[in-house]
Amino acid sequence: MSALARFRELGILATLLVVVLGTALVNPRFLAGQSIQDLLLNASIIALLAVGQTAVVLTRNVDLSVGSVLGLSAFLTASTAAANPDLPVPLILLLGLGIGLVCGAINGAVVALGRVPSLVVTLGTLYVFRGLDYLIAQGQQVNAGDLPEALLGFGGGTLLGLPNLVLLTLLVVLAAAHYLRNHRSGRELYAIGSHPEAAILAGIPVRRRVFGVFLASGLIAGLAGALWTARYGTVDAAAGTGLELQVVAAVVVGGVAIFGGSGSAHGAALGALLLGTIASSLAVLGVPAFWQQAITGALLLAAITVDRLLALRLAAALRRAARRPTEVTG
């Protein structure tokens, strides 16, 4: 499984390299420092959301409400910051985290405790959270001129030559990768996705873990909403609309099996970067937006097909390995 994961991630890196170099041959400015920063910034929000989505998908679930959670968090943090210009940036980020935590707890409670399919639950909360966002906004928007300079400075600032948003996303990706690889509760997510019934028999607290991954997904989406405010400044009730599909695409393209049980946080982040780079590359080359969406869809279908083929090959290999001791004994 480790070898398969490395194969998928190396494939993503190779594809990313081909896209970047191919575009740079046509337009050398694509590799300029500012262009690279823009690529990383544009992918950072999707990559951040993909980390939380990875934990959910590993357990054979999905969270379709992340775009609405981001939008609700973005508008509430923006309106709060506009009404309290002296509010420190860390408190604004904590507010976004709190909003996401509440939304994630709602999703997790209904899925894990109510035992309702996550697809149904999060499709419903997608509309509930977005409707609440529109109800609070009342058709208004928060403009960049209304926000504190410190918040906008954080969203557009850099540290060690990298944008603050990119560094924060990188920290979250590294923390999630370390947790999934080295902590028992993180490895248990793979067990749940591989075989939920066997995980229960092994004594893994499945419902608690599933509740926890939805909590983490909501938490990260809430943080992403606050960062959205810092990045773009102008926020209305439509912020983040449709992002959930981009996030799921990034996760699957990044090597996280849609059927659960395999994948990594850094692979999902690479998937987000690849999709963002392809979109920017096609825009630079003057390719119509239709083809951008078509290529994203084709990549998604290809990733799901590869996942299925690898799963079938792995299952066949395990069956052969299980028969060998019997054959030797006979």
Q: Are 68 and 225 in contact (CB under 8 A)?
A: no
- pLDDT for 216: 95
Q: Are 211 and 203 in contact (CB under 8 A)?
A: no
Position 214 confidence tier, pLDDT thresholds 50, 70, 90: very high
Arithmetic mean of pLDDT, 130-154: 90
In tens, the pLDDT along 233-270 reads 889 989 888 889 889 988 988 888 888 878 889 889 98
CA atoms of 239 and 219, how far apart (whole Å)? 17
CA atoms of 186 and 55, how far apart (whole Å)? 9
Residue 27 φ/ψ, nearest 5 degrees:
-135, 95
Task: Look over the chain and give the mean of its residue pLDDT values, rounded to a whole number.
Answer: 86
User: How far does CA 174 lie from the centroid of its chain?
Assistant: 13
Q: Are 224 and 48 in contact (CB under 8 A)?
A: yes
Measured from the Cβ of residue 203, the count of other Cβ atoms closer than 10 Å reads 8
User: How far does CA 268 lie from the centroid of its chain?
Assistant: 7
Which tokens belong to 37? 């920063």
CB proximity list for 107: less than 8 A, separation 6 or greater: 63, 65, 118, 121, 122, 125, 214, 217, 218
CA neighbor of 123 nearest in space, from 63, 69, 175:
63
Q: Radius of gyration (Cα) for the chain, nearest Å?
A: 21
CA atoms of 228 and 45, how far apart (whole Å)? 7
- pLDDT for 326: 54
**pLDDT exceeds cutoff 70 at 8:** no
- Whole-model pTM? 0.88
Q: Is residue 126 packed enough to be buried (19+ CB in 10 Å), middle (13-18) or exposed (0-12)? A: buried
| Percentage of the chain exceeding pLDDT 90 | 43
- pLDDT for 312: 65
Please tell me which residue, 286 or 244, carries the higher pLDDT value: 244
- pLDDT for 10: 75
In tens, the pLDDT along 189-200 reads 999 988 888 888
CA atoms of 53 and 32, how far apart (whole Å)? 31
